[in-house]
Amino acid sequence: MEFALLAVVFAAFIILTGDMVIKLSMQGQLDRLSYSMVNVLKERTQLYNPDFMEIDRESTRELNSIISHSLGRMVSNYDASKMGTTFESLTFPNGRQTLDTIEQGGGCQLTDTLADHQDLSMMTSWGRRATLYRVTICYETDNWAGALFDAEFTTVQSSSIMMGR
Helices (H), the chain: 2-47, 57-74, 144-149
Given this model, what pLDDT does residue 144 score? 64
Can you tell me the distance from the alpha carbon of 22 to that of 20, in angstroms, rounded to the nearest whole number? 5
Phi, psi (5° rounding) for residue 77? Answer: -110, 45
12 vs 19: CA distance, rounded Å:
11
Q: What is the pLDDT of residues 138-153, one digit of tens each?
A: 998 877 666 555 566 6
Q: What rounded mean pLDDT belongs to the chain? A: 82
pLDDT, tens only, 67-92: 999 988 888 888 888 899 999 988 88
Q: What is the pLDDT of residue 49?
A: 59
Residue 45 in contact with residue 52, Cβ under 8 Å? yes
Helix or strand holding residue 127 (H, E): none
Q: pTM score, two decimals?
A: 0.81
Tell me if residue 156 falls in helix, strand or coil: strand
**What tens digit of pLDDT does each residue of 5-63 get?**
888 888 888 878 887 888 888 889 999 999 999 988 888 766 655 566 567 888 888 88
Q: Is the pLDDT of residue 105 over 80?
A: yes
How far apart CA 108 and CA 138 sit, in angstroms, is 6
pLDDT of the residue at 136: 94
pLDDT of residue 147: 58
